[in-house]
Amino acid sequence: MATENQKEGPMKHIPLAIALLALAAALFAIAMNGGAAGQPQAAMVQQDSFDRIVADGRITACYVTWPPSVTKDPNTGEVSGFIIDMFGKIANDASLKVDYVESTWGGFPADLNSGRCDVGVAGIYPLISRSTSVSFTRPYLYSGNGVVKRTGDSRFKSVSDLNQKGVKVAVIQGEYGHIYAKKYLPNAELVVLEKGADPTMPIISVSSGQADAGMSLSDVIGEYVKLHPEVQDINGGKPFATEPATFAVRHGDLKLKNFLDNGLSYLESTGYTEAAVRKYNSTYWYKADVQYVEVR
């Protein structure tokens, strides 16, 4: 004859099973709705943004000023430049309106991941350190890096000649010139300028006699030497290295990245990219097949 406990058998555990199923359903609902009340935006930015962008007919772009690629009118706030033209062309052909939001070089990854914008639009270098925070499109152009010396200084005929004891080379902390000089010019004395300094500062250091050479962007050097005959480009205008320029999106926005990659490829193949660069007289940006002076 069965005891009282045996009579209950498996039926005793049914309420517990129901409770566990209810708990699992609740946890699933919380996960699907952003984790908690008041957090729908956080959930949204974890998903691919492209479908929402197309449905809304709008895309928000964080920009960083870098004339002439991206320029902001101080009076109207309107942005222009060849990068703005390129991005605007892609958006317009997809029937998307663009909302521009100003950002900074250091701040655009946080702006993307917080949902403040959908894409970072500037000449963004896809640094390995940045790749831990955001994803990048294919490169659409390459920015050159150059070096200046005082006019008539016969010691330096190439970048390699700077690798001498007693030679002072001005660079901006964290910029490509700084990274390059630490690796390839170990014997030179580096004059390291403050991070985020105006890109003309390494060249000004040469003009003022504080450095023997200065490293900066090719477009900055090209414009500076036109007005300052006391300095000259060691490589005669050819970059000694180039860096790719891209747009940036959140990790996981694969549809959006693919859309932008396709758009950039189309602009390049149809000649739009080159025409946009020429429109703004930016002659120091380079295509992928650029022949530059590489120093090992």
Residues 65 and 88 in one domain: yes
The number of distinct structural domains making up the chain is 2
Q: Are the C-beta atoms of residues 180 and 241 closer than 8 Å to each other?
A: yes
Question: What HEC string does 121-175 produce?
Answer: EEEECCCCCHHHCEEECCCCEEEEEEEEEECCCCCCCCHHHHCCCCCEEEEECCC
Lookup: tokens for 287? 């295509």
Task: Compute CA distances 193 → 138, 202, 293, whole Å.
Answer: 31, 8, 25
The reply to whether 147 and 235 lie within a common domain is yes
Residue 182's domain comprises: 142-241
Mean pLDDT, all residues of the chain: 85
pLDDT tens readout for residues 194-253:
987 888 999 999 999 999 999 998 888 988 999 999 999 998 888 988 889 999 999 999
What would the two tokens of residue 234 be? Answer: 């060691």
97 sits in which H/E element: strand 97-102
Q: Are residues 157 and 103 in the same domain?
A: no
Q: Would 76 be classed as within a structural domain?
A: yes
Residue 26 placed within a domain: no
> Are 68 and 192 in the same domain?
no
| pLDDT > 90 in the chain, percent | 62
In this prediction, residue 281 carries a pLDDT of 80
Checking if the pLDDT of 179 tops 80, the result is yes
Q: Within this chain, do residues 53 and 78 fall inside the same structural domain, yes or no?
A: yes
- CATH code: domain of residue 230: 3.40.190.10
Distance between CA atoms of 138 and 232, rounded to whole angstroms?
A: 33
Does 41 map to a domain? no
Please tell me the predicted confidence (pLDDT) of residue 1. 44
Asked if 129 and 258 sit in the same domain, the reply is: yes
Kindly state whether residues 81 and 97 are assigned to the same domain: yes
Quick: pLDDT tens for 102-160.
Answer: 999 889 999 999 999 999 999 898 988 889 999 999 999 998 899 999 999 999 999 99
Tell me, yes or no, whether 27 lies in a domain.
no
Element (H, E) at 79: strand 79-80
Same domain, 248 and 133: yes
Both 132 and 274 in one domain: the answer is yes
Lowest mean pLDDT segment, chosen from 7-11, 172-176, 226-230, 275-279: 7-11
